[in-house]
Amino acid sequence: MLVFNLPLDYAAFMYSSIWRSFFILVLSMVFSGALFAADDASTSLESFRKKIAAQETDQQRQQSGGISFSSQIKILQATIAREEYDQATSMLDNLGRYGLPSALQEEWPQIVDSLKKEIAVKQAGSLDKWRKEIESLIVDTRKTCLEAKGSADLDSLLVRCAALQMRRSSQNNVLAERTNRKLVGAASTISTWANFLDLRETGNGKRANEVLRSLISGQSDFPILKVEEIQAHLITDTAELLNTRVVAQFEF
């Protein structure tokens, strides 16, 4: 039996290894192809811009609204670099051929087509990166809020949250919409928890509890903390709550 089992096991191992290697090779080719395509589109655009700049005339600048076509391409390149992909696509659609030298008009539609494909690839990658950063923010928000001693402990989360809000995806799909709801939930939780900590620090226990309870009654579409986790942080100490009455006497 050993004589026959060893070759069969070895053959099975080799077969699986070959397919595994083939699968990895195909994935590498696809990924590399997407990268090369993106590089080719960007390189072609820059090459095209230089050719236009060398042939542009004052009349053509006037036809394109006073801004040379090559300058508009530089604005487009900067927009893509900032990952403002919807605006970049809109710019491509609106550029048309006004002010474009006649010798280069046939080449432009091909470049536009390549750029739109590149933007679609980059846009998908940008959404995935944004989504993963928000998932990480949610994990850190849950941990940091529950462990925070003061509102200053949440400052780094607020900075991260603001940066992610500035990069909010404008894509119209279910993944982008759900990810945005998660970001709104994180922002609401961080802000409310910081407010709670500030009120607790000043001794206004009653008001602090009201703010904390608002996280339960007015939770966003995507709650970050469990109800029992929030309730566990409610101020129950009688001395603190009595101190609230003293604070209230001096409020105007």
* List of residues 6+ apart from 37 with CB closer than 8 A: 114, 117, 118, 121
Q: Are 233 and 212 in contact (CB under 8 A)?
A: yes
Residue 104: the pLDDT is 80
- pTM of the entire structure? 0.61
Q: Is the pLDDT of residue 35 over 80?
A: no
pLDDT tens for residues 165-209? 988 777 778 988 999 999 999 999 999 999 999 999 998 999 999
C-alpha span between 122 and 69 (Å, rounded): 24
The rounded distance, in Å, linking the Cα atoms of 161 and 180 is 11
Predicted confidence (pLDDT) per residue in 62-110, tens digit: 555 567 888 888 999 998 888 888 888 888 888 766 667 777 888 888 8
Q: Left (φ > 0), alpha (ψ -120 to 50) or beta: where does 67 sit? A: beta
Per-residue pLDDT at 227 exceeds 90: yes
Q: How far is CA 174 from CA 49, 178, 179, 180, in A?
A: 37, 6, 8, 10
**Mean pLDDT on 110-134:** 90
